[in-house]
Every structure is written in structure tokens, then in C-alpha cells.
Amino acid sequence: MSELAASSPAAAKKPAREDSPTRRAFRRLLRRKGAVVGLVVVLLFVCMALLADWIAPYNPTEADWSALRGEPTLEHPFGGDELGRDVLSRVIYGARASLFAGVISVLLALAIGIPVGLLSGYAGGVVDGVIMRFTDAMLAVPFLILAIAMAAFLGPSLANAMIAIGVAAAPIFVRLTRAQVQSVKVEDYVEAARAIGNSPARIAFRHILPNIWPALMVQSTLTIASAIIAEASLSFLGLGQQPPEPSWGSMLNAAKDYMSDAPWMAIYPGLSIFLVVLSFNLLGDGLRDALDPRHRD
């Protein structure tokens, strides 16, 4: 039946689309409801962050002394914060800072981790040994301590928090990349590429990277989740986003003094962090299931 269809004139017009591994993976991903929910929620928050200027009812840094810790009303659906600013607007704009913190940190970690991991995995020998010992050392220092020390060194700001988290998370990707490289290095197509004289860089980019990105994607998604929590933790210590700009973490930090007085200051940013981080985690787990050839539903 399918051969007939394939040889029919209609099929000849449309080029036959192969069921590529990517498409199969994508379908597997969609089959996992948790991952789908996660993906949708993440996209919703991303849209919220991008469209903040249009959907936020107030300027997030504009103080309104009359709404000091005001209860949620029609005018201020999420209430007012300790300086009378609109919590809803701050939650919306806060999505920018928190999502940014998550994504940029991980991009930085990838930018450091992938090249170093490739080098280490491909080169082997002493180079590999030294790099791995250093990576192990960084992983042995508690993540938050590394981040705190670096953020303190760079100065308290959102940008510096992102750098600190990114650098502290890089070793994870170094290790992951290296492990993937080592397992792929011995594959036939890589041996072949080397045999015909391709440069290591070319081999790395054309042959190795395309085969290791699934694992990196999974880890990246999960690390974004951790990075958002890390930003909240750094803000709690006064090292993340600084006032008056909002981030969910710094909003929680301010809110903790007013828990009985104005609980809405804490509820909405806390809920937002929870939803976004949970979604990234579900998405990451779903990706792992979808991309891991060993898992069959």
C-alpha cells in the first residue's frame, strides 16, 4: 500500500519526507503530557516576559505611597508591595529577570563547558587529566558558595549573578560534554573522518556535536531550572537583582519581612518561581525520555 502511494504521481510531486530521529523524538515528547504542560507553561511565561511592556498595568518601579502594602483590589489585583508598587506588574517584569537569569547563565555555562569538554574529551592524556581534576575541584566546592563568592567579588547585580551562576554551572557541562565525546569518539564515522584527515575542529563540529546535543539539551533545561532557583537564593542574600528593578527572588527577599502583614507580596512571586521551575523540570525530564534511545513507551 505504501509503495503504491509512494510511486503515485501525487507522491512524486511531494518529496518523500523521512521520519527523522528528530521528528520521532518530538512526537515522543508530545506524548508525555507532563512535558507538554511544562513546555506550554514555559512558553507562556516567556511571552509574558517579552510582552511585559504591553501587558503590565503599571510601571514596576513606580512607587505609590497610598498603596503601601495594599491589599489586592481591582486596581491592584496582586496588591501593593513595601513601597507601594504594583505587585502584578512587578511579577510580570520579574519574569524577565528570572528567565534571563536562567537562560543566560546556562548559555554562559555552555559557552565555557562545551569547548573545554570537547578539548578534554578529544585530546585525552595530560590535558584531559588536568582539566578534569580542575573540573572535579570546582564541583567539590558547594555550588552556592562558588556563586556567592563570585557574585560578591563581581558586585551585587543581576548581570553579575548570571555570570556567577554560569561559571559555577560550567563544570557540569564540561563533564557531560567530555563523557559524550568519549563515547562518540570511538564510533566508526569519527574514525573515518579522522582517517580522511579532517581537522579536530571540523570533526568536533560536524560529527561530534550533532550527536551529543540531545544530552546537552536535557541538562540545559534542567540547569535553567536550578539557575532560576539560584538567582532567587542569591537575591535572598542581597547579591542578585538590586532594587528597584524587580526579580522574583528579590521580591521574595523583601516579602519575607511582611508575611503576616502582606502575604500577597510573597505568594505571587513564589508561585511564579514554582510554576516556571517545575515546568522546566518537567520539560527536561520529558526531553530526556524523548531523546534517550533506551526509553521506549
CB of 197 to another protein, least distance (A): 34
Q: What are phi and psi of 86, to 5 degrees?
A: -75, 120
From the list 3-11, 15-23, 138-146, 201-209, the region that binds another protein by CB under 8 A is: 138-146
Helix (H) or strand (E) holding 112: helix 87-123
Selected binder of another protein within 23, 24, 27, 33 (CB under 8 A): 33
What's the CA gap between 141 and 159, in Å, rounded?
Answer: 22
Contact status, residue 162 vs residue 108, Cβ threshold 8 Å: yes
CA dist 10 and 37 (Å) reads 37
CA dist 270 and 250 (Å) reads: 11
Exactly one of 52, 83, 107, 112 binds another protein (CB under 8 A); that residue is: 83
Q: Is 163 in the site for another protein (CB under 8 A)?
A: no
Q: Which of 103, 152, 209, 217 touches another protein (CB under 8 A)?
A: 152
Q: Cβ atoms within 10 A of the Cβ of 133, count?
A: 10
289 touches 295 (CB < 8 A): yes
3-state SS class at 17: coil
What single letter denotes the amino acid at residue 168?
A
Q: Pick out residues in 167-206 that bind another protein (CB under 8 A).
A: none
Phi (first) and psi of residue 238, to 5 degrees? 85, 15
Q: Burial, 239: exposed, middle or buried (Cβ in 10 Å; 0-12, 13-18, 19+)? A: buried
When binding is defined by CB under 8 A, the residue of 46, 52, 63, 107 that contacts another protein is 63
Residue that the C-alpha cell 556535536 belongs to? 209
Distances (CA, A) of 219 to 2, 109, 165, 174: 39, 11, 15, 12
Residue from 98, 233, 247, 272 touching another protein (CB under 8 A): that is: 233
* 156: contact with another protein by CB under 8 A: yes
Least Å from the CB of residue 73 to another protein: 19
Which of 107, 144, 209, 217 touches another protein by CB under 8 A? 144
User: What character string, x for contact with another protein (CB under 8 A) and - otherwise, covers 270-289?
Assistant: x--xx--xx--xx--x----
Residues in region 238-277 near another protein by CB under 8 A: 238-239, 242-244, 249, 252, 254, 256-261, 270, 273-274, 277
Using CB under 8 A as the binding rule, whether residue 107 contacts another protein is answered as: no
Closest CB 207 distance from another protein, rounded Å: 28
Residue 184: half-sphere exposure toward Cβ, Cα within 13 Å: 26
For binding to another protein (CB under 8 A), which residues are involved?
A: 31-34, 63, 65, 68, 82-84, 130, 133-134, 136-142, 144-146, 148-150, 152-153, 155-157, 225, 229, 232-233, 236-239, 242-244, 249, 252, 254, 256-261, 270, 273-274, 277-278, 281-282, 285, 294-297
